[in-house]
Amino acid sequence: KQEVTQIPAALSVPEGENLVLNCSFTDSAIYNLQWFRQDPGKGLTSLLLIQSSQREQTSGRLNASLDKSSGRSTLYIAASQPGDSATYLCAVHRGNYGGSQGNLIFGKGTKLSVKP
Amino acid sequence: KAGVTQTPRYLIKTRGQQVTLSCSPISGHRSVSWYQQTPGQGLQFLFEYFSETQRNKGNFPGRFSGRQFSNSRSEMNVSTLELGDSALYLCASSFVFRSSEGGYTFGSGTRLTVV
């Protein structure tokens, strides 16, 4: 059974700081890994998708890395802004395993608060 | 390009009633997945459909069911509602079932409140 863990569960930082969110998974046989953002009461917005053959992906101030062998991914946010305040979710795609967990396995998320 | 559309956005139902939620995937996407999100349990997988066939099912009671139509639109139904069914129900679409190179795209969700 694939398990995804995100640390920390919550994080509060002053505006302008660079920060790192962590995601770990127990089974390295993944197809890809996706980072999402969720604002309160809203759906999930995809931030970055890293294929299993890739090491990192970048979009604007966001950079996500993937180390399959160690079962880890990090999301780096540069120069944080109050608008970055949200819950960030990491999800691994297990390819065609499926089963009762489904193909996309989520962590519990990191709730980020950026103070002005 | 239109995103994933979920209707309705909000629902209030009484215990014992049934409810149907709808999801229209991105045009061309043939796989639709459903998730239940609650503060205590996080995101829990309900089921996944591809080409009108249920491919995977999560550990939910039989009161939860779904289907997918030939145009890839999907519906999920919850019968005999319980207070614990109050949650945000999210739908996601992807291009294909076994090779989600494009990742998953989520809708805005349906907030169901059971009173």
The minimum CA-CA distance between B24 and chain A, rounded to whole Å, is 14
Split at pLDDT 50, 70, 90, the class of B100 is low
DSSP B1: -
Q: Shortest CA distance to B48 belongs to which of A105, A103, A95?
A: A103
Burial pattern A35-66, b for ≥16 Cβ within 10 A else e, equals bbbbeeebbbbbbbbbeeeeeebeeeebbbbb
Burial pattern B85-104, b for ≥16 Cβ within 10 A else e, equals bbbbbbbbbbbebeebeebb
- B63-75 per-position pLDDT tens digit: 999 999 999 999 9
The minimum CA-CA distance between B66 and chain A, rounded to whole Å, is 15
Other CB atoms within 10 A of residue B82 CB: 12
Residue A67 has pLDDT above 80, yes or no: yes
B104 chain-A contacts, CB cut-off 8 A? 34, 46, 91, 93, 104
The predicted pLDDT at position A93 comes to 87
